[in-house]
Amino acid sequence: MKILLVDDEARNLKLLQAMLAPEGYELLTASSGEEALQLLSGQQVNMAILDVMMPGINGFELLAKIRESESLKAIPVLLITALTEKEYKLKGLRAGADDYISKPFDRDELLARVEAQMRLSWLRQQLAEKEKVARIAEVIEEGIIITGKNFAPVVVSARAGELLEIENLPDNIVTYLSEKYGKSITCTAETCSFLFERSETSKYNPLFLSVAAYPVKNPQGEVESYVFIVRDVTAQQLEGRLKTNFMSFISHKLRTPLMVMGSSFELIRSTITDPHALEMLSLAEKRHNEISSIVNRLLGFVELDNKGLAEIVSTDMIDAVISRLEARYGKNYSLEKNVPVSESRLWIIMAAEELLDNSFKFYDGGQLAVSLRLDDNVLEVSDNGPGFPAEEKDKVVDAFYQIDKYSSGQVPGLGIGLNLVKRLAELAHADIRIDTKIGAGTKVTIKLHGKKI
């Protein structure tokens, strides 16, 4: 919090600084009203403490200029007066001062008055913001709910009431949502989000609702209130389900004939002696294995939520992944592997395989250089591949999105690898970051805070 101190006596400024600086306040000083106005024109401050009696622009005149300015008028202002200057105190308060401090300064009184005015100012700002949000909430498509720190609703927009079927204000919005939709919800001092499926009733159509809660903190970093944003995501959810169900159906229909074909290759090979025919059979088997791999990855993609992702597995599985990729792509590569842990979760091994597969798949140069780091909290995979434009970073994690979007047909795979990694990270409440640049490779980092990967 930044405070401007204005006094023409250097010793008073030093005394105020000595009292306020240990409390963590950032202090600006001015020795005249003119200097103070110059500072205020280029600095954003949270409070001003002004001496009344100064040559040039005195404290009352400076206060008037602050109150006349649209950008400054909300700043709390404390006036410095002598104990005997009662008329100055009354004049200052009538002119718009928020409080006064008497000379000689008492440290405890000074700190108490500064803290009180800081808090009152913040509360006034929050009230103004809530009023603005309440007006905006009635004209936007999303529903808005503003609550106190204990989740008691203060503002519920008409749209939020309609989406969440709120007829009477509940005592606690989180408890209301948990009981109504049968879902355990925990909101802390950080942002939280959750998805509800609202069943069809005689009054309402079925809906999928996304609810995100954002904490609002006071200057001391304490949560004072929450803003809940409610969105109707039914169209996106139904589209996703339709796509997933279709891909699951196709994958299951393909798996059986592929298994039959796969078991026939060895039998056919034992009956063929012609070298050319054997070469053609090997090529067919290779293509069969590629298609089988795609089908298996599709099944893994659509059944992801049902897997035991938290299962503990050996990190030796990474060596098996590398061997498969080496056999599949036959590329010249070097691997820098830093894996000091012997065990990890199944989901992180799956994510590592997808990232390594992308490194091998998209590299088309002399020697692929891959680096993999896995410890208790971080998985990081980087390569010297082609990279991609920075503006594509948000899109490449979408399902079935491929950067070769102009359909040359030359890009292998289905565009589900990074989306699979993203979904795995989300299920584990981990952060994912992608750093890339055309011609300079790609690095993907997954980080889990507070507990082991």
Return the CATH number at 46. Answer: 3.40.50.2300
Report the CATH number that the domain containing residue 317 is assigned in CATH: 3.30.565.10
Q: What is the 3-state secondary structure (H, E, C) of the chain?
A: CEEEEECCCHHHHHHHHHHHHHHCCEEEEECCHHHHHHHHHHCCCCEEEEECCCCCCCHHHHHHHHHHCCCCCCCCEEEEEECCCHHHHHHHHHCCCCEEEEECCCHHHHHHHHHHHHHHHHHHHHHHHHHHHHHHHCCCCCEEEEEECCCCEEEECHHHHHHCCCCCCCCCHHHHHHHHHCCCCCCCCCCEEEEEEECCCCCCCCEEEEEEEEEEECCCCCEEEEEEEEEECHHHHHHHHHHHHHHHHHHHHHHHHHHHHHHHHHHHHCCCCCHHHHHHHHHHHHHHHHHHHHHHHHHHHHCHHHCCCCCEEECCHHHHHHHHHHHHHCCCEEEEEECCCCEEEHHHHHHHHHHHHHHHHHCCCCCEEEEEEECCCEEEEEECCCCCCHHHCCCCCCCCCCCCCCCCCCCCCCCCHHHHHHHHHHHCCCEEEEEECCCCCEEEEEECCCCCC
What's the rounded mean pLDDT across residues 352-370? 89
> What local confidence, expressed as pLDDT, does residue 416 receive?
67
> What local confidence, expressed as pLDDT, does residue 73 receive?
82
What's the rounded mean pLDDT across residues 67-73? 84
Q: Among 302, 322, 339, give the residue marking a domain's end.
A: 302
Q: Is the pLDDT of residue 27 over 90?
A: yes
* Residues 25 and 114 reside in one and the same domain: yes
> What local confidence, expressed as pLDDT, does residue 308 receive?
57
Q: Is residue 424 part of a domain?
A: yes
Q: Cα–Cα distance between 372 and 221 in angstroms, integer? A: 38
* Model confidence band, residue 352 (pLDDT cutoffs 50, 70, 90): very high
* Residues 9 and 97 reside in one and the same domain: yes
R_g over Cα of the chain: 32
What's the rounded mean pLDDT across residues 84-90? 66
Q: Is the pLDDT of residue 137 over 60?
A: no
* Residues 313 and 279 reside in one and the same domain: no
Report the CATH number that the domain containing residue 251 is assigned in CATH: 1.10.287
Q: What are phi and psi of 394, to 5 degrees?
A: -75, -25
Q: 368 versus 72: which is more confidently predicted?
A: 368
Q: Is the pLDDT of residue 245 over 90?
A: no
Look at the chain and report how many structural domains it folds into. 4
Per mean pLDDT, which range of 106-115, 230-239, 298-307, 412-421 is the poorest?
298-307
Q: Is residue 453 part of a domain?
A: no
Q: Is residue 387 part of a domain?
A: yes
Q: What domain range is 221 assigned to?
A: 138-232
Whether the bond between 215 and the residue before it is cis, its omega within 30 degrees of 0, is no
* Residues 38 and 97 reside in one and the same domain: yes
* Model confidence band, residue 370 (pLDDT cutoffs 50, 70, 90): very high
> What local confidence, expressed as pLDDT, does residue 222 receive?
82
What's the rounded mean pLDDT across residues 222-250? 77
Q: Is residue 378 part of a domain?
A: yes
* Residues 227 and 269 reside in one and the same domain: no
Q: Is residue 326 part of a domain?
A: yes
Q: Is the pLDDT of residue 5 over 80?
A: yes
Q: Which residue has the tokens 């012997």?
A: 342
> What local confidence, expressed as pLDDT, does residue 414 receive?
58
Q: Is the pLDDT of residue 340 over 90?
A: yes
Report the CATH number that the domain containing residue 174 is assigned in CATH: 3.30.450.20
What is the DSSP track for 21-33?
GGGT-EEEEESSH
Which spans in 164-274 are helix H? 173-181, 234-269
> What local confidence, expressed as pLDDT, does residue 373 receive?
94
* Residues 391 and 357 reside in one and the same domain: yes
Q: Does the global pTM surpass 0.85?
A: no
Per mean pLDDT, which range of 17-21, 42-46, 340-344 is the poorest?
42-46
Per mean pLDDT, which range of 164-178, 305-319, 434-448 is the poorest?
305-319
> What local confidence, expressed as pLDDT, does residue 411 receive?
53
What percent of the chain has a predicted confidence (pLDDT) above 90?
17
* Residues 314 and 435 reside in one and the same domain: yes
* Model confidence band, residue 408 (pLDDT cutoffs 50, 70, 90): very low
Q: Is the pLDDT of residue 450 over 60?
A: no
> What local confidence, expressed as pLDDT, does residue 84 receive?
56
Q: 429 versus 375: which is more confidently predicted?
A: 375
Q: Among 106, 126, 146, give the residue marking a domain's end.
A: 126
Q: Among 126, 146, 177, give the residue marking a domain's end.
A: 126
179, 336, 337, 380 from 340: Cα distances, Å: 44, 13, 9, 13
Average pLDDT, the chain: 81
Residue 294, classified by CB atoms within 10 Å of its CB into exposed (0-12), middle (13-18) or buried (19+), is middle
Q: Is residue 132 part of a domain?
A: no
What's the rounded mean pLDDT across residues 320-343? 90
Q: Is residue 367 part of a domain?
A: yes
Q: 56 versus 250: which is more confidently predicted?
A: 56
* Residues 88 and 153 reside in one and the same domain: no
* Residues 32 and 119 reside in one and the same domain: yes
* Residues 406 and 386 reside in one and the same domain: yes
What percent of the chain has a predicted confidence (pLDDT) above 70?
82
> What local confidence, expressed as pLDDT, does residue 96 receive?
81
* Residues 10 and 122 reside in one and the same domain: yes
What's the rounded mean pLDDT across residues 282-290? 83
Q: 367 versus 254: which is more confidently predicted?
A: 367
Q: Is residue 452 part of a domain?
A: no
Q: Is the pLDDT of residue 306 over 50?
A: no
Choose the most confident range, by mean pLDDT, from 82-96, 102-116, 360-374, 395-409.
360-374
* Contact by Cβ (8 Å): 330, 366: no
> What local confidence, expressed as pLDDT, does residue 409 receive?
45
Q: Is the pLDDT of residue 298 over 70?
A: no
* Model confidence band, residue 216 (pLDDT cutoffs 50, 70, 90): confident
What's the rounded mean pLDDT across residues 299-306? 58
* Residues 213 and 89 reside in one and the same domain: no
